[in-house]
Amino acid sequence: MSSMSGWSELDDRVVAHARALAADAVQKVGNGHPGTAMSLAPVAYTLFQRHLVHDPSDPTWLGRDRFILSCGHSSLTLYIQLFLSGYGLEMKDLQEFRTWGSLTPGHPEYGHTAGVEMTTGPLGQGVATAVGMAMAARYERGLLDADAQPGTSIFDHSIWVICSDGDLQEGVSAEASSLAGTQELGSLNVIYDDNRISIEGDTHNAFTEDVSARYRAYGWHVIDVAASANGSVDIAALDNAMTQAKKETSKPTMIRMKSVIAWPAPKAQGTAGSHGSALGDEEIAATKVALGLNPEEKFAMPDDLLKHARQVKVRNALVRATWDAQFATWAANNSQQAELLARLRTKELPAGWDSDIPTFAPGKDVATRAASGQVINAIAKTLPEFWGGSADLAGSNNTSIDGGGSFLPATSAIKDAHPYGRIIHFGIREHAMGSILNGIALHGLTRSFGGTFAVFSDYMRGAVRLAALMNIPSTFVWTHDSIGVGEDGPTHQPIEHFAALRAIPGLDVVRPGDANEVAESWKTILKRGRAAGILLSRQNLPVFDRTDCASATGTSKGAYILKDADNPQAILIATGSEVSLAIDVQKALASEGIAVRVVSAPCLEWFAEQDQAYKDSVLPRSIKLKVSIEVGIAQGWHQLIGDAGIAISLEHYGASADAKRLFKEFGFSVEAIVSKIKAAM
């Protein structure tokens, strides 16, 4: 039994049963990850019982700490604590582990199981997303309680993470951890399960660096916790480390904790086999004997032990009540902020929030990235919760909020640094930027965006997919969206990216055709509150004369008739920079007596949601010749243009030359498209 105060023999018995539960749950379904959940059971229990500020009766309590299990494969680590703390999971749910419709899927899923703060499973993401949560915590504090002394605000709380070797091998965690050091995110506490085992065995087959030294070099506070003599996690030392972690408020803390996977299974402990395979009845029985449990019993958690563990609910209800009282005082003294908070919690946009968004006059060509920059600044005026930045391309992505100040700790020597600044400098870390945006969105109160070149959306794809999977409102700003980039050449010219991004279910891929479509796109993105990416041109584009064309409000429908003709013989469907080209093609054909309709299609996902009558009105079946014009691969377009359609596309990499020349060389000219259409007629 551990000698620390407030820890009793009952706690030891809960932990012993929790270890056995992990083994039983995997054995029952026949697959899963028992070893880590067994060895981490005391770690998570200590955190949930003694350190994590949470209210199991209200998993969305604003004042709570956040907990992320970055090594999502060890989902039982979390499920068992949710069961023991009384979040609503019961033994039956553990028995249904990894089965259809259960509350205990293979990896934790946000929005599915109460108490799960993020979907994890792709290693590294949890650590990186937690960095975003810690950044959001500081920014939100700035909105609500800016002047409170450090550690005294009711909005001060910690972000706790348990991660594994794989989490720290993944680059995304390194990107984000480096930034967390620069940002001095004292609220972030990461417990690293240093068990030196991954699927292929000893991690020294690929991972020999001194992780502690690396994190110290990042500017973290690192605490090393050795294992007990018998191989189990040293709970008293870990408990003490957690206390130290909370005390350190000017640096993120890493607790590097030695453990033995699957401890104390006699044969399986310390083996890679225990990572992802059921241990087998015999080994589980032997483990139970080693734990002092009845080897005949499965899924055991005696009532007295469960009752003991669930006292955490009672204890924390008192913490919650105190917080509620402090909150009431805060609200009474800060009526404006309280009003803001009430709105932010409902995720509603205030009346007139979009009143400063400009309308762009025709006549002067505008790059859609430049229009986006203006729109971002207009939104920033009315929505204090709107903030973001770029992966070192702010000037190119047009993502800076004028006068917003750089989000940096008070100690920073950077000009315009401010702990509550609205401009995030992500550094050249696209993947972490994506994860951090997800963390900000998950944290709950604010809306954030992050920019880079569209071609580097690939670098952040893991995070983008998770944003869509979790259905959270991360907004990705992807500029330089085509060969229109010009001279930088094929490494910088997206080709397959539109299709690749549209392939992600639940992601809105928005490619506005002119400045006014940009304004409407941002409005729609903000209103919908879903994961979205906006693709913007580097080069100037004409601003359509809306007295001559349809209103840009059609943007929110995803596709709309921009400019019609009497009895059109064909429909041109274009996105982004190709919409103005389509208008020119329409003119050229008209001069030859051929009438065609031009449809601008800024977002195929939004269009897909429209009713059939609307879709048929824009793209009637009776007009057989449908022509898509988009300067990327054609993949996906045949769904809209059908067998009789033509896709004007780019099926190969670009080249280094001026943009106009590239469009012409690659068939994106009025002449080339007109002749293709005429041939098809």
Measured on CA atoms in the order 545, 551, 557, 561, is the torsion positive or negative? Answer: negative
Number of H helices and E strands in the chain, helices first, is 26, 22
Residue 178's binding partner among ligand TPP, Mg ion, none (Cβ under 5 to 8 angstroms by kind) is none
When asked if residue 438 is in the footprint of ligand TPP (CB under 6 A), the reply is no
Q: Which two tokens stand for residue 159?
A: 């972000």
Closer residue to ligand TPP in complex, CB, 312/463: 463
Closer residue to ligand TPP in complex, CB, 140/165: 165
Among 64, 73, 138, 431, binds ligand TPP (CB under 6 A): 73
Q: Which stretch binds ligand TPP (CB under 6 A): 190-198, 405-413, 445-453, 605-613?
A: 190-198
Closest CA to 274 of 19, 12, 17: 19
Is 96 an annotated catalytic residue?
A: no
Residue 516's binding partner among ligand TPP, Mg ion, none (Cβ under 5 to 8 angstroms by kind) is none
Spell out a b/e string for 594-631, using b for 16 or more CB atoms within 10 Å of the CB, else e: bebbbbbbbbbbbbeebeeeebeebbeeeeebbbbbbb
- Kindly write out the interface string for residues 150-189 of this chain, putting x where it contacts Mg ion by CB under 5 A and - elsewhere: --------------xx------------------------
- List the interface residues with ligand TPP, window 120-179 (CB under 6 A): 121-123, 164-166, 170
Helix H, strand E, coil C: the string for 296-324 is CCCCCCCHHHHHHHCHHHHHHHHHHHHHH
Residue 142's binding partner among ligand TPP, Mg ion, none (Cβ under 5 to 8 angstroms by kind) is none
Closer residue to ligand TPP in complex, CB, 129/164: 164
Closest CA to 344 of 420, 440, 446, 439: 446
Q: How far apart are CA 350 and CA 425, in angstroms?
A: 28
Q: How far is the CB of 104 from ligand TPP (least distance, A)?
A: 18
Residue at token pair 């080994």: 283
Closest CA to 417 of 156, 138, 129, 189: 138
Among 158, 187, 195, 316, binds ligand TPP (CB under 6 A): 195
When asked if residue 40 is in the footprint of Mg ion (CB under 5 A), the reply is no
Among 2, 27, 36, 253, binds ligand TPP (CB under 6 A): 36
When asked if residue 74 is in the footprint of Mg ion (CB under 5 A), the reply is no
Helix H, strand E, coil C: the string for 514-548 is CHHHHHHHHHHHHHHCCCEEEEECCCEECCCCCCC
Q: Which stretch binds ligand TPP (CB under 6 A): 138-146, 191-199, 498-506, 519-527?
A: 191-199
Residue 431 near residue 464 (C-beta atoms within 8 A): no
Q: How far apart are CA 104 and CA 152, in angstroms?
A: 37
Among 20, 71, 162, 509, binds ligand TPP (CB under 6 A): 71
The terminus-to-terminus CA distance of the chain in angstroms comes to: 84
Q: Which stretch binds Mg ion (CB under 5 A): 24-32, 195-203, 345-353, 375-383?
A: 195-203
Catalytic residue among 109, 283, 430, 630: 430
Q: How far apart are CA 57 and CA 445, in angstroms?
A: 21
Site residue total, ligand TPP (CB under 6 A): 17
Residue 72 near residue 335 (C-beta atoms within 8 A): no
- Kindly write out the interface string for residues 197-216 of this chain, putting x where it contacts Mg ion by CB under 5 A and - elsewhere: xx------------------
Closer residue to ligand TPP in complex, CB, 261/585: 261
Active site residues: 430
Question: Residues in the site for Mg ion, rule: CB under 5 A?
Answer: 164-165, 195, 197-198
Question: Residues in the site for ligand TPP, rule: CB under 6 A?
Answer: 36, 71, 73-74, 121-123, 164-166, 170, 195, 197-199, 261, 275
